[in-house]
Structure 1
Amino acid sequence: MKILYTILCGICLLYSGFAFGQEAVVTGRLLDGDSQQPLPGVSVRVKGTQQGVSSDVDGSFRLSLKSTPATIIFSYIGFESQEKEIQGSGSLGDFIMKPSLIFMADQVVISGTRQAEKITKTPATIQLINSKSIEELPSFNPGELLSRVKGVEFVRSGVIGTGINIRGFNSNFNSKNLQVNDGRFATLIATGLPLGPLSTFIKEDIDRVEVILGPNAALYGPNAHNGLVNTIMKDPRASQGTTIALGAGNQNMLTARVRHAQVLNDKFAFRVSGEYTKGTEFDFVDSVYMIRGGSLGAYEELELDNDFSFLKGNASLVYNITERAELVATWGGSNTTYLAPTNVGRNQIKDWKINHYGLKLISEHWFAQAYYTTSKTDSTYSIDERTKQYYRGIDSGLTDNQARGAFSYQSGALFIDDSRRLNGEIQYNNSLGKLNIVVGAQGQRDMANSHGTYLLDKDEDDYITINQFGVYGQFDYDLGNGFKLTAVARGDYHEVYEFNFVPKAGLVKSVGKDGAIRLTYSKGIAAPTILNMYGNLFNGLILGNAEGFTLNDGSAVEKQKVEEIQTIELGYKGKLNNRLYTDINAYYNKSKNFLSPVTVVGVATERGDQPMSEVQDGYGVYGGLVATYVNFGEVNTFGFDIGLNYQLMNHLTLDFNYSFFDYSVDEDDLDNDFDKDGKVTKLDILVNSPKNRAGLGLNYSGNKFFGTVFARWVEEYDYFSSFQIAAKSQPELSYRGVPIKENARSADTWNYGPLGGFVDVDLSLGYHIIQNKLSLSGQVTNPFDAEFREFTASPFIGRLYSVQLKLDLPAISKKTSK
């Protein structure tokens, strides 16, 4: 931390001494080419620098330039990006922005190479949720927009629970898709799961979301394995003003959100935001199975709390060191209560608190950041295990109150988390003729603590500490004739899994004015999480596998390895004509060393070199019987995605996407026999993904009205994840020792039948009561109230509707440039 601080200070002093040329002031007013109405919020930036402003509510802007000549770039969602050469001070008068809803080829992204570049030129399959889609969504939950993204397997696990998977192998504890928020890893420290509902940002703070399909570990490190979701926040200097949003809906949903951003002077700008949302989950009571009195019975979850709530806050302060360098200090916090599906029933998340603190330096050639994340809860618990312990208490003669009290948590139901994470990164980029270079280093120190409740730590002073370090280098070279070559190499050192090499290479060929063909190779890795390595669930019935086990027959269970995937991908992205934009890609993956869901491996005598009697809290009950996580198998997966966007007329577009996914496995290779029954079946390779899915949407975004009709079809598919099962009847196969039968008990859970097999519809409509100031909008999901279930350990999804009133107030003072 001291080293990084020294680097930051040194770079700040270096840039503070720079001087630049002749100053100039440029003014103008930006107008909609169709309506001739003023355009507020247009980004006005100096090409090649950090300098820029956004237009005021009347479309006017005033930009101070440190030197001329210079090129100004005007960009705004729904309009073509335009450039203007500036020779000195003056007024541009009324500057016309040309409307175009087929603007995708002009979009700039950063996730593919960690540099700003047109989306068509990046050597990765990137899907973009833009600011207009986010602003016009009449919901507090921006995660709902992921259902409309090509190549993403979207699931809804309740009123607020939304999740994604990319290219197969989903589970109820899926940590293979990395979530990044403005360059900060937004994952839980001990489990590696995306924060999801625990996230600290609010919808009004989001500028855009970039989704990478496929591995991108070379630049982002372990666990950017199947994909990456990068949420990019608004710059307060380009988004001044105050936004207040109030919403209500069924399921007792109420939400209030506020955001304010302001430029104080040429040096300082800030933003603050907050949200409070509450509601009630759909009615659903899962069955808990246990043996009582010698017979197996089904019992309702104990004391189920269907209420959810979110309290979130964010703040950011920007300091302009010079024209080309800035410091950004950030804080975010949340307190969340909700029901979460897991591999073993559901967890009652109670007052789970996330806080993060960060400092970033951004300049023309340097980027450096350090951030600190904390995770804390002392009352979250496993509903399934608490229910079982309650009935054990009743059977032992306890009163109802006694059995519901502290006793109900004594078998390992309670989860306490008091974990911390420290991250640091430094990066340098430059151009040498046709060669662009990015080199960097990242460090991460995880300090997990469960007070001895679900990890192999002993108490609140015993932290499980894991250090990781990675260095990477990226080289882009312009080969001429429209060809660009990208090569990336990364070396990662993990304290438990030691060194891993992660390469990536891409070749992009520009086609016409607004298109490109790309061919890429990339490798991804997924390092086991702290829970996988050092878990201690339900008094040691489930233990982490960082050191391996010795079984009572003398055989060994090897310690976990890093999971690997290698991908070859071919794609095209661009405009076929002025109205049609297309994005097509095909891929082939080779995966090995799958990390299994939790599975029983047998009776163990030792974990590593430690006797099980010293490790397993419940040794007197289990006698060394243990479940853990193991590596197995090698599978090839393949598929393709098609996305089409057609502009029917100004302000009206038709969107279509389709995805196909399948796999192949060597059935003669018994390394793929995960359940060790002597043959390789579908139950050994838990793909857990639909083979076909598609979406069709009609979007209107006019001066007064805006709205969307979107239909999503998901093919029926079988799903298995540890205790969880959702599958059609297959009496020839058994899962966890029980024949697979639909609408029947399957070991420890009820099989309601396969997932998917539905068409879901979203409808939204909004009206600008006062242009750019006041809007009223509403949304209905599943308007026909069709009963379907998208995920295991989750309710059947009913109709959801909500309304939102949003007020946008202009900035207190005129915007000034950076």
Structure 2
Amino acid sequence: MKNCFTRTCLCSILILLNLWSVAQAQQTTITGAVTNSTTSQKMPGVTVSVKGALTGAITDASGNFRFNTTRSLPLTLVFSYVGFKSEEVTVSNAGEPVNVMLSSTEILGQEVVVAASRVAQSILQSPVSIEKLDSRAIKASPAPTFYDALANMKGVEMSTQSLTFKSVNTRGFNGNGNTRVLQLIDGMDNQAPGLNFSVGNIVGITELDMDNVELLPGAASALYGPNALNGIVLMNSKNPFDYQGLSANVKSGILSEDGRSKATTGYYDVTVRYAHAFNNKWAFKLNFGYIKADDWQAYDPRDQSTLNGHGLADGTRANNPAYNGINTYGDETNVNMRTSLQPAALNPGNPLGDGIAALSAATGGAITPAMIFNSIMPATANSFVSRTGYDERNLADYDTKNMKINGALHYRIKDNLEAFVQGSYGTGTTVYTGADRYSIKNFRMGQYKAELKGSNFYVRLYTTQERAGDSYAIGTLAQGINEAWKPSTTWFPQYFGAYATQALTTFRDAFVGALGGGQTPAQAYAAATAAAQNGSTNFHNGARATADQGRLLPGTSEFDAAATKVKEKPIPGNDQGVGARFADKTNLYQGEFMYNFSNLIPFVEVLVGGNYRVYSLNSGGSLFALDDNGDEFNIKEFGGYVQAAKGLIDEHLHLTGSIRYDKNENFKGQFSPRLSAVYTFLKTHNIRASYQTGFRIPTCQDQYINLQTPQYRLIGGIPYMIDRFGLKNGPVYTLESVQAGTPQQYVFRDFEPERIVAFEVGYKGLFANKVLVDAYVYSNNFKNYNGVQALVKPNATTGGNDIFSIPVNLDRDIKSWGWALGLDYSMPLNFAIGGNISYNDLRDDEGLTSAGVMWNTPKVRYNLYLGNRNIASSNFGFNVTWRWQDKFIWNSTFVSPAVNTLGISEIPAYGTLDAQVSKLFPKAKTTVKIGGANILQKNYIQSWGNPTVGAQYYVSLGYNL
């Protein structure tokens, strides 16, 4: 399949690149110049396009333009530039230069969006909620990168796992590496196909090449298919025909957060873009970006074990022998000391049993061995012991870096037909949070595309190639270091033996001393018991010191050598030791098309599209299951959609309906309809209503993972995997019921894709060309929520239990609702002020926390801003943005199950202030920008176990932005 797809791509590329042989019509040359009406200066960088075609140019440094077209005269030219009012000019005589003057404007609501309906339309008349971040807004934003600026959009949530790894979400059910929001880079799915998370902007578009970002909150599967359950983020790069020349930006600054190993460290960001067009036919672009910094650090020391009666409020390594720090690792492994020691304590023939038996005999049997054992041991519920862990900062690679390289070659076959090939490659080191914290080290991913695009259609072939590099699981690494130094089968007996020896000695001495002091045997027994119990803390400390003697310490060559061996061995390891490295090399291959029949069907606009996708799993058997031939699986999907739109009542009412069908080979086919209506009145006021659906096909790991971890064997939830391990044969119990002492047989249900049915009503209107209002209210019904279930299967061979963790669907619907309001006011003298607020909530959350539902969303969040892009025509600009969000509970597979069940994993509320000031030097085409994120240093975290984010200050020098 892979070879076939590769050959198809190569043939397609050759066909696209050799279409120059198509017969060309007579060409017409059009020239002209563009001037700023306010300053009377010529304007470089203005986009000049032929209306209804792909042909056009961009004005040069002197404000002049020249291009060839095969369109017959007369024709209409469209002149556009960010921050200026667009102009249309009819050209009847090619011999006369076209001279145009553009006027600066801050009129709101002028953006054109494509994502809402896959056709260009005014953002005011979008049939669903949509947010847009264009190049002008990116330049004005105080955020360090355009990806950070997404958090300023209405209703958008962020989860920061590291400086360069952030996940975007809308309308609830947030998660790290969120798979419920689809992220497209120039139309390509940006999710890592094997590791199953969208990699932020690690492999994406550089800020210099970013044309715009469009974000649709909520269900969007009707047009975009699987995984557009909670929304879609579309990032679109600049066309080299429209944006030419050299541009560059150098940004440097510092990161500051007191809890890090070194509070203040440097930050460096360099991007370069070059694009050039030849004779209006050929054009190319090259992009390079590099970021380097010492990452934010995760160091939350709170105890999330809840064993031995301790927990987040008071648990420490000093007072809880079962301590499991949120950001310490290796201490997840725990054993019940009392249960483990009881057989030896009550049976002579071993040191503990002989010692207890001798003491019992000395009392003439008045004090039985069982009584002595009860006296020297804590109660069963209070006798858990965990191994000593390591802090994350001693395990993770915080030397974060990211390099992006992008290139494209475009060929305009004729005015309304363009062919191009594009390649994007990214590599870097970052940190990601899933069921474990993962050090994504030397990760590499490439996306390569060939596309043929017309004014009313496109055909696209692309592949995503993932290479995990030297990435490893941090928690597994810690466990592997512990096991390499001293196996748990040795460490725990040493600990328990040392504890029992101290406790028994204390009990015997106290008992003998009390008898010698004239107390009765009963009184002596009570005194000895009290002495043993009072000494419990000292016994634990002494036992840990004994078992940890010679323990590998961070910073030593022995520690580094052990860590290297574990990091180099593929997960989960073998008989020679634990492995933590991901060996994944999974690829995605996709072909898709879209055709707009509006030129053939004049009375209604009809779109038809479809796609075919193949995941080629390749983890070397370390992550995914193997088939009967010893190969990993290919997963095939296909889908198609139809959309019809019609304007009624003199174009005041626009109706749109679409339906899509998708089929994954492991699941039933999914229909995703959408209906919407937009009514426009008084030209700039629009009321919209929509019925939308979304679905998410379980990830490749949810389907085929087969990974043994220290706690569980993780397996996929499809029937093939369940049958493979015989879980439907014989008794299989839920882990919760086994731990409660009342095993309950688990009844399997069909594993199905998640679905959402949503209703939304909204309004978007412009008042006096100065005030833009955007508001909506929505209601969601979430079906087949994809959670996790731990199962226990007795093993007749070993006499023990096998524990499995599988993805399952929740057997109840989850209903949520919310609303949002955005206000933007364009004030005199180019000042702008505005903000937005969003509210999201569950209608009935009873029992959802204990069921492991990951709502992970604050009820309220808001953003406020004040800015001016050009103060009094001085070329100075500024922007100040305040962001705030409410506290909320975070549930995930990273959170301890006990903490999850109790629902106490709270993310505190926080507010943060970002600001920037900039100065443009027009003659030098240079922009200087000074800014900072979280300049008040109100440190915060955005999800459980993730790093504490501090202040980031920067200075940037940009050329030809």
Q: So what's the TM-score if we normalise by structure 2? A: 0.75
Structure with the higher fraction of residues in strand conformation: 1
1:404 matches 2:555: no
For 1:496 and 1:152, the matched residues in 2 are separated by 32
SS in 2 for 1:333: strand
| 3-state DSSP of counterpart to 2:40 | coil
Structure 2 residue 856 is matched with structure 1 residue 688:
yes
Distance 1:451 1:116 in 2: 45
* 1:128 alignment partner, one of 120, 127, 132: 132
Structure 2 unaligned spans of 5+: 255-264, 300-326, 338-384, 491-550, 553-557, 734-744
The answer for the alignment partner of 2:103 in structure 1 is: 98
Compared with structure 1, are the counterparts of its residues 716 and 146 closer, same or farther at alpha carbon in structure 2 (3 Å cutoff)? same
**Aligned amino acid, residue 798 of structure 1:** G
Q: Please state if 1:349 is matched with 2:435.
A: no
Q: How many Å apart are 1:151 and its aligned residue?
A: 1.5
Q: Is the 8 A contact 2:445 2:467 kept in 1?
A: yes
Q: CA deviation at 1:291?
A: 4.3
- Greater mean deviation of Cα atoms: 219-228 or 9-18: 9-18
Residue 323 (1) aligns with residue 415 (2): yes
The residue number in structure 1 matching 2:642 is: 473
Partner of 2:509: none
| Equivalent pair of 2:294/2:400 in contact (CA under 8 Å) | yes
SS state of the match for residue 597, structure 2?
A: strand
1:7/1:379 CA distance change after superposition, 3 Å: closer
Q: CA deviation at 1:339?
A: 1.4
What amino acid is the match of 1:325? Answer: L
Kindly indicate whether residue 715 of structure 2 is the aligned counterpart of residue 552 of structure 1: no
Q: Give yes or no for the alignment of 1:642 onto 2:821.
A: yes
CA contact (8 A) 1:412 1:537 kept: no
1:660-675 to 2 correspondences below 5 Å: 660-665=839-844
1:713 Cα deviation from its structure 2 partner: 1.0
Structure 1 residues 232 and 320: CA distance shift in structure 2, 3 A: same
User: SS of the residue aligned with 1:624?
Assistant: strand
- Given that 2:167 and 2:178 are in contact with CA atoms closer than 8 Å, whether structure 1 keeps it comes out as no
Deviations 1:561-608 (CA, angstroms, capped at 9, x unpaired): 110001111112231212111211111111110011x442x2147xxx
Q: Structure 1 residues 450, 214: CA separation in 2 closer, same or farther (over 3 Å shift)?
A: same
Identical amino acids, percent of aligned pairs: 26
Does the 8 Å contact 1:169/1:689 carry over to 2? yes
1:16: how far off? 7.2
Alignment partner, residue 456 of structure 2 = 365
Deviation at 1:405, TM superposition (A): 4.2
Q: Residues 10 and 371 (structure 1 numbering): CA distance in 2 closer, same or farther, change over 3 Å? A: closer
RMSD: 2.9
Counterpart-to-counterpart distance in 2, 1:421 and 1:258 = 29
Task: Write out aligned runs for 1:7-86 (5 A).
Answer: 24-65=28-69, 66-86=71-91
Mapped partners of 2:755, 2:479: distance in 1: 37
Query: Aligned to 1:236, what secondary structure does the other structure show?
Result: coil
Is residue 589–residue 638 contact of structure 1 (8 Å, CA) maintained in 2?
A: yes
For residue 786 of structure 2, what is the amino acid of its counterpart?
L
Choose from 801, 815, 818 the match for 1:623: 801
User: CA separation of 1:537/1:375 partners in 2, compared to 1, >3 Å: closer, same or farther?
Assistant: same
Residue 425 (structure 1) aligned with residue 425 (structure 2)? no
Question: 1:407–1:805: structure 2 CA closer, same or farther, 3 Å change rule?
Answer: closer
Does residue 310 (structure 1) correspond to residue 402 (structure 2)? The answer is yes
Q: C-alpha displacement at 1:31, in angstroms? A: 2.8
Cα distance per residue 1:616-640 (max 9 Å; x no partner): xxx9798321112111120111111
Provide TM-score, normalisation by structure 1. Answer: 0.87
* Contact 2:276 2:284 (C-alpha < 8 Å) held by counterparts: yes
SS for the counterpart of 1:290 is: coil
Q: Shift in Å at residue 658 of structure 1?
A: 0.8
Q: Distance in 1 between matches of 2:147 and 2:207?
A: 9
Distance 2:467 2:786 in 1: 27
The amino acid across from 2:615 in the alignment is D
Gaps of 5+ in 1: 606-611, 614-618, 668-672, 674-679, 726-732, 742-750, 810-818
Determine which of 464, 483, 497 is the counterpart of 2:667: 497
8 Å contact from structure 1 (residues 342, 793) kept in 2? no
- What do residues 512-559 of structure 1 show as CA deviations (whole Å, max 9, x unaligned)? 233322211111000000011111234462222112443525543334
Measured at CA, do residues 296 and 14 of structure 1 come closer, stay the same or move farther in structure 2, by a change above 3 Å?
closer
> Contact between 1:47 and 1:72, CA under 8 Å: does it hold in 2?
yes
Which one has a bigger Cα radius of gyration? 2
**Higher mean Cα deviation, 797-806 or 65-74?**
65-74
Whether 1:392 and 2:564 are equivalent positions in the alignment is no
Change (3 A) 1:210 1:580: same
Assess, with a 3 A threshold, how the Cα gap between structure 1 residues 80 and 434 changes in structure 2: closer, same or farther: farther
Structure 1, residues 365-395: CA drift from partner, whole Å, max 9, x if none?
3310101111012421110111022112322
Contact 2:645 2:657 in 1 (8 A): yes
Change over 3 Å in CA distance of 1:383–1:70 after alignment to 2: same
The question of whether the paired residues in 1 share the 8 Å contact of 2:32 and 2:65 is answered with yes
Deviation of residue 211 (structure 1)? Answer: 0.3
Structure with the bigger percentage of helix? 2
How do residues 144-543 of structure 1 correspond to structure 2 at under 5 angstroms? 144-250=148-254, 251-285=265-299, 286-288=327-329, 289-291=331-333, 294=337, 295-296=385-386, 299=389, 300-301=391-392, 302-344=394-436, 346-396=437-487, 400-401=558-559, 403-407=562-566, 409=569, 410=573, 411-431=578-598, 432-457=601-626, 462-481=631-650, 482-539=652-709, 541-543=713-715
| Corresponding residue of 2:779 | 588
Counting matched residue pairs gives 763
Maintained 8 Å contact 1:139/1:802:
no
Q: Give deviations 1:122-143, integer Å, cap 9, x for gaps.
A: 3221100011122345776321
The residue type equivalent to 1:784 in the other structure is L
Distance 1:135 1:328 in 2: 28
Distance in 2 between residues matched to 1:59 and 1:626, nearest whole Å: 67
Q: Give the secondary-structure state (helix, strand or coil) at the position aligned to 2:583.
A: strand
Structure 1 residues 542 and 128 mapped into 2: Cα distance closer, same or farther (>3 Å)? same
Aligned counterpart for 2:888 among listed residues 713, 717, 722: 717
Distance in 2 (CA, whole Å) between partners of 1:666 and 1:657 is 26
What letter matches 2:763 in structure 1? Y
CA distance 1:649–1:687, shift in 2 (3 Å) = same
- Structure 2 contact 56–280 (Cα < 8 Å) conserved: no
* CA displacement at 1:24 relative to structure 2: 4.5
> Quick check: 114-123 or 393-402, which moved more?
393-402
The one-letter code matched in structure 1 to 2:764 is: K
